[in-house]
């Protein structure tokens, strides 16, 4: 046990995405849509699609290595790896595979499933271990390859999703705690609004005993319900977190939301009275990458200099479950 006190420092980030880019014009060749229709309604222009030789574990490993390098530590310094994903390479989990790929030989690793809220839930989970003094250096990864589970003939959903991975290093510190407040929420009564369901076939084994085996159906979504849910619950969650941290909208340097739809992000900013120029958005390039979307957007903003040490970031993830959560933290 490493007794590091109650402080958390966020010291590194990284990201990775597949090489292949699927544009709105490409989608217009596949289904009845257009670049204008997609861009106007979602803010999306491109999305990156994993090839047969690109795995979730490999993308995650690259993102993790970039985050570890920025933090100025080595893979063997990592005590814990939390992989937030809904699309592991292996149904038993992919966190341990990533641990092996990056050489984090001293780390315990596990997967966390909370769909598009996964990265925020992973950050909050990591903070509990650090604040308890159990672990000093925690690597959190948000990664998804949703293209594996998209119905590419469904115009309402196939335009939305892309693939990618993002990572963050959180470290115990005796200095100021950089995670200022957080909240996590779930509403299972709306579970059928966004699903990637298992379907089975019957296989008789012996008399009176039949096993069920099968696969998963493509993603289904009630877009209107998810939109209404997000624009109502996300501002509420962030407002509660700001209250807990004794902050106002004027204290927030950046609004970092799950990249589901630009209209959702704009609506959340308006309700919070946060200027839209404070929204960190890369949805035009990557689309909705589920658990990867928040760290992908953060990494781009850190590396191009928009996000500076000491900046206060209000972040929120929301999606299937239904789940949602918020965290307010200072970068660096």
Q: 48, 96, 137, 258: which one is catalytic? A: 258
What's CA 149's distance to the chain center, in Å? 17
Q: 24, 66, 282, 288: which one is catalytic? A: 288
- Reported in sequence order, the residue ranges of the chain that DSSP labels E, i.e. its strands, are 7-16, 21-23, 46-48, 80-84, 108-112, 137-145, 163-173, 179-186, 194-195, 198-206, 209-216, 220-221, 254-257, 312-319, 323-330
Q: Which two tokens stand for residue 8?
A: 């958390």
Give the Cα separation of 177 and 166 in Å (integer).
Answer: 22
The contacts found for 230-236 with CB under 8 angstroms, 24 or more apart, are 230/260, 230/261, 230/264, 230/268, 230/318, 230/324, 231/264, 231/267, 231/268, 231/271, 233/185, 233/318, 233/324, 234/264, 234/268, 234/316, 234/318, 234/324, 234/326, 235/268, 235/271, 235/272
Q: 116, 137, 158, 282: which one is catalytic? A: 116
Q: Which of 83, 95, 195 is nearest to 146 (CA)?
A: 195
Residue 311 bears catalytic tag? no
How close are the terminal C-alpha atoms of the chain, in Å? 24
Active site residues: 116, 258, 288
């Amino acid at each position: 046990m490493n007794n590091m006190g109650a402080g958390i420092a966020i010291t590194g980030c990284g990201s990775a995405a597949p090489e292949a880019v699927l544009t709105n014009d490409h989608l217009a060749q596949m289904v009845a849509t257009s670049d204008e229709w997609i861009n106007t309604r979602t803010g999306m222009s491109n999305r990156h699609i994993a090839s047969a030789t690109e795995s979730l574990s490999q993308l995650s490993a690259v993102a993790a290595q970039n985050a570890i390098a920025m933090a100025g530590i080595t893979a063997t310094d990592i005590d814990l790896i939390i992989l937030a994903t809904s699309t592991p390479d292996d149904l038993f989990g992919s966190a341990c595979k990533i641990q092996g790929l990056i050489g984090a030989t001293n780390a315990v690793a596990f997967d966390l499933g909370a769909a598009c809220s996964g990265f925020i839930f992973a950050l909050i989970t990591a903070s509990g271990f650090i604040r308890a003094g159990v672990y000093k250096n925690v690597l959190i990864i948000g990664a998804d390859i949703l293209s594996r589970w998209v119905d590419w003939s469904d115009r309402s959903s196939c335009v939305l999703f892309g693939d990618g991975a993002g990572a963050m290093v959180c470290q115990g510190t005796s200095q100021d705690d950089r995670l200022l407040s957080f909240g996590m929420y779930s509403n299972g009564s709306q579970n059928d609004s966004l699903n990637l369901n298992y379907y089975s076939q019957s296989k008789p084994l012996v008399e009176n005993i039949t096993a069920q085996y099968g696969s998963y159906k493509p993603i289904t979504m009630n877009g209107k319900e998810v939109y209404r849910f997000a624009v109502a619950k996300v501002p509420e969650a962030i407002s509660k977190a700001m209250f807990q941290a004794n902050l106002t909208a004027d204290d927030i340097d950046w609004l970092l939301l799950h990249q589901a739809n630009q209209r959702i992000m704009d609506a959340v900013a308006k309700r919070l009275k946060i200027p839209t120029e404070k929204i960190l958005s890369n949805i035009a390039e990557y689309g909705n990458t589920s658990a990867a979307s928040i760290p992908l957007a953060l990494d781009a903003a850190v590396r191009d200099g928009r996000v500076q040490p000491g900046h206060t970031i209000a972040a929120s993830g929301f999606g299937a479950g239904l789940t949602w959560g918020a965290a307010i933290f200072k970068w660096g």
